[in-house]
């Protein structure tokens, strides 16, 4: 569903400060925020503990790098700040991203890991297991029930919402290169809560 087919409620004011600035700053700031899903009437929620920033047209690792142009796959990245961009990785895993740029500026933050904070039994049922429920972008999307039908969704409104949370202190935040990319992999645009069980060890 394209963003233009959704209710025109606009991004709520609570997201304005949270998503202000370049994608790297937003990726850091999103640590401690909460994703709430009410997909299929089942509420699940998790606190963000790992993110990666993708800077858009000038970022060789971005789906929206200038060399690729605007395509059906990356089109949601060009939507307004606060849009949910969902893509499928390896033909299997849905990955959830928060668009951070103004409309036409395709910067986004990949949500890589969550700390489950509500609806854990629902998450376990969707995942078919009771451990590692949200320790990876594909796992967390499955746990929250996020699929391609939520691409272009406005994160200010249900069924998937991004809510501010408790800020994570700088001493508890680690950075590293991004995971699973072949270009600009050493750019320090991955942010994570140090020592959290849902976070994979940093690359460097």
Q: What is the pLDDT of residue 43?
A: 98
**What pLDDT shows up at residue 201?**
72
> What topology is assigned to 3-193 in CATH?
3-methyladenine DNA Glycosylase; Chain A (3.10.300)
pLDDT at site 51: 98
Q: Which residues contact 171 (CB under 8 A, 6 or more apart)?
A: none
Point out the residues of the chain with pLDDT beneath 70: 1-13, 202-204
Are the C-beta atoms of residues 104 and 74 closer than 8 Å to each other? no
Hey, where are the domains in the chain?
3-193
Residues 110-157 have pLDDT tens digits of 999 999 999 999 999 999 999 999 999 999 999 999 999 999 999 999
């Amino acid at each position: 569903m394209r963003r233009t087919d959704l209710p025109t409620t606009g991004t709520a004011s609570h997201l304005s400060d949270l998503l202000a600035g370049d994608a790297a700053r937003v990726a850091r700031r999103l640590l401690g925020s909460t994703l709430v899903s009410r997909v299929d009437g089942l509420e699940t929620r998790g606190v963000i503990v790992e993110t990666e920033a993708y800077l858009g047209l000038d970022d060789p690792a971005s789906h929206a790098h200038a060399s690729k142009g605007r395509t059906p796959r990356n089109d949601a990245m060009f939507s307004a700040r606060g849009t949910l961009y969902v893509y499928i990785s390896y033909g299997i895993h849905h990955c959830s991203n928060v668009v951070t740029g103004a409309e036409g500026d395709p910067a986004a933050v990949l949500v890589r890991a969550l700390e489950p904070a509500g609806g854990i039994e629902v998450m376990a049922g969707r995942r078919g297991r009771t451990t590692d429920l949200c320790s990876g972008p594909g796992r967390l999307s499955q746990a929250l029930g996020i699929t391609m039908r939520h691409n272009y969704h406005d994160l200010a409104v249900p069924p998937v919402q991004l809510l501010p949370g408790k800020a994570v202190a700088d001493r508890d935040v680690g950075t590293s290169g991004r995971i699973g990319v072949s270009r600009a992999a050493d750019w320090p645009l991955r942010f994570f809560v140090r020592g959290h069980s849902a976070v994979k060890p940093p690359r460097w």
